[in-house]
Amino acid sequence: MDEKRLVVLYGDTLLIDGVEASLTERNGLDVIRVDTTITNVGQHLRTIAPDLVIFDLDTPVIELSKLIVPLLQKQPGVPFICLDAEHSEVVTLACEQHTAHSTNDLVDLIRRQFPLPEQDWEDSVVY
């Protein structure tokens, strides 16, 4: 039995229609289409546990927030691909999950992930 990647196409645009038609014919991919009108999209995606999510840049931000945050809480490493048809670009988004109980934990994470030379973090104001 061949191993396949589960790809979720999120959205209802013509771009996603075309990508679905193309990817469905490819070996090694199982493609599932999820419409933006589905209720509880985050729960639905957590259930199917995709390997990858593809969406159109023109997807409304409010719809993306219902998609991205709940899925990343369950599968922190799942990659997202954003298609920008206007500029013929593909943007990949990856995520890591970290525990932060305080703003000090957040500052430590920022220091590690985005180090700035000669930045005096100790004197910065913490809200």
List, for residues 69-125, the tens digit of each pLDDT value: 777 777 878 888 999 999 999 988 877 777 888 888 888 888 887 776 655 555 555
Of 96, 99, 106, the residue nearest 126 (C-alpha): 106
The pLDDT assigned to 122 comes to: 56
Count: domains in the chain? 2
Instruction: Give phi and psi for 113, each to the nearest 5.
Output: -80, -35
Residues 88 and 103 in one domain: no
Spatial separation of the C-alpha atoms in residues 117 and 103, rounded to whole Å: 21
Residues 55 and 106 in one domain: no
Per-residue pLDDT reduced to its tens digit, 46-61: 788 889 999 998 887 7
Residues 70 and 107 in one domain: no
Residues 44 and 59 in one domain: yes
- What residues pair up with 53 in beta bridges, in sequence order? 8, 80
End-to-end CA distance of the chain: 55
* Count of residues making up the chain: 127
Residues 79 and 23 in one domain: yes
Residues 127 and 83 in one domain: no
The pLDDT assigned to 119 comes to: 53
Residues 24 and 52 in one domain: yes
Residues 85 and 39 in one domain: yes
Residue-range definition of the domain harbouring residue 45 = 5-93
